[in-house]
Amino acid sequence: MGEGSGSGTIRPGGRTARVRASVLRAAGDALAERGFAQLDLADVARRAGVGKTTVYRRWGSIAALMADLLIELAQESVPHTETGDLLGDLRANADLVRRTLRDPRQGALFTAVIAAATWDEPTARALRQFYDSRVTEWAPCVAQAIDRGDVPAGTDPREVIRAVSAPLYYRLLTHGELPDEAAADRAAKAAAAAARAGVFLAGHTDSSV
Amino acid sequence: MGEGSGSGTIRPGGRTARVRASVLRAAGDALAERGFAQLDLADVARRAGVGKTTVYRRWGSIAALMADLLIELAQESVPHTETGDLLGDLRANADLVRRTLRDPRQGALFTAVIAAATWDEPTARALRQFYDSRVTEWAPCVAQAIDRGDVPAGTDPREVIRAVSAPLYYRLLTHGELPDEAAADRAAKAAAAAARAGVFLAGHTDSSV
DNA sequence: ACAGTAATGGTTCTCCAGTTCCGTTAGCTC
DNA sequence: GAGCTAACGGAACTGGAGAACCATTACTGT
């Protein structure tokens, strides 16, 4: 019988990692400089000093490249302090989102990934995974607010965190407006007010507010 | 000197209107059946029974075609009843958004237009215009709530309406989830709670909630 | 150190989205 | 209802994105 069953050793080290890193950096540069619409894999390969064959083989599409760029970004977890105050924590979260979306490179990346995710399923998965991990990082501060009795028991922490991001992304995507401090502040306050009013109680759809 | 300055008569009637209508219908069909990524102008032209030259000349790009499709949709204003109750009105609004996004044709159109708007400025303008008119249609119900003293004076009605849509679009775009009744209900309640708490007071950024 | 083989890279080729060209059709004006 | 020309349509053309091919490079395990 055949030994080793055909699957050779994987080689993520050395050159492969170097190629991946330089392609991702080049892709980020190209995205920031020329924008999503003008992205072309051959140009990325040229900037990265890498054969375009390699880029086509390993990523295959702009969408996949964007997704990989997002995964790379997701590695660097942004630690956050907890203030012991729901509104303070949500403000910190809103401010993180605001700064992320306003950052030229990251902002362009997020709009590009969201756009690509509307037609490319792997990219959509990467995007979901990114937000799920972000939400998981931030949910504890809502859980603590529940423990303090600041927010009704049974509130879904994840839903509260998502409520903070929603208006900021919505404005960016539908109106092209980068969120400013006031918008971030409103987003945090609105989420806090809704959470305190019991809007995010899990399970049942209550008629009362 | 040249007389008439070169601008001939415009001919929007008859054939031109017919061509536009059939191309838009075909584009909507193609979008619903094959999805945004597989859209191609030649196929749209074939479906419409129209020369592809015509489609390229009059629209020139998928993005422009999507924008035109949205403008067409914006014509049919959806009249809405006013219940005399803020939450009721916001629920009606949330439900309109929910039904729009769940409708196969309209939902696909909106995600396509939002994606295209991230790189195509004319499409972005069409999108902004669409939402501005929708928001303008719905803002009065918030104004009435202010008059009734249901919501603090100085609240920005448009901001409240936008707050209803935000979480529904956010979920769709970042998680690929079509909004259900529960989500629409939460969106309406969250916006109402935040509005009543004075989160959408125009002008100043207040530290208190 | 050395064999074995992932993985890369240059080149060439293919194919089709988008353009150009020009003849034809049919609104608009008088 | 006749002429003018805006707008359409078929066909041929083209440029460049992406695939195919195979030689070359350099990780990995022994």
Rg, chain A, Cα only: 21
Cα distances (angstroms) measured from residue B30 to each of A148, A206, B43: 53, 40, 8
Look at residue A112 and tell me whether its pLDDT is greater than 90. yes
Q: Where in chain B is the domain with CATH 1.10.10.60?
A: 15-73
Please state, as a whole number, how many other Cβ atoms lie within 10 Å of the Cβ of residue A9.
5
- Alpha helices, DSSP H only, in chain A? 15-34, 41-48, 52-58, 62-75, 86-102, 104-117, 121-147, 157-175, 181-196
Closest to B135 in 3D by CA, of B108, B166, B106: B166
Binary contact (B120, A37; C-beta < 8 A): yes
Give the CATH number of domain A80-196; options: 1.10.357.10, 3.30.70.890, 3.40.640.10, 3.30.465.10: 1.10.357.10
pLDDT digits (tens, 9 = 90+) for B28-54: 999 999 999 999 999 999 999 999 999
Question: Above pLDDT 90, what percent of chain A?
Answer: 84
- The pLDDT value recorded for residue A207 is 52
CATH 1.10.10.60, domain B15-73, yes or no: yes
Shortest CA distance from A128: residue in chain B: B175
Calpha distance B49→B41 (Å, rounded): 12
What is residue A155's three-state secondary structure?
strand
Look at residue A145 and tell me whether its pLDDT is greater than 90. yes
pLDDT digits (tens, 9 = 90+) for B98-136: 999 999 999 999 999 999 999 999 999 999 999 999 999
Look at residue B76 and tell me whether its pLDDT is greater than 90. no
The mean of the pLDDT values for chain B is: 92
Strand C contact nucleotides, protein CB < 7 Å: 5-11, 16-21, 26-29
Shortest CA distance from B194: residue in chain A: A190
Binary contact (B199, A205; C-beta < 8 A): no
Measure A10 CA to nearest chain B CA, in Å. Answer: 32
Q: Where in chain A is the domain with CATH 1.10.357.10?
A: 80-196
The mean of the pLDDT values for chain A is: 92
Look at residue A129 and tell me whether its pLDDT is greater than 80. yes
- The pLDDT value recorded for residue B9 is 77
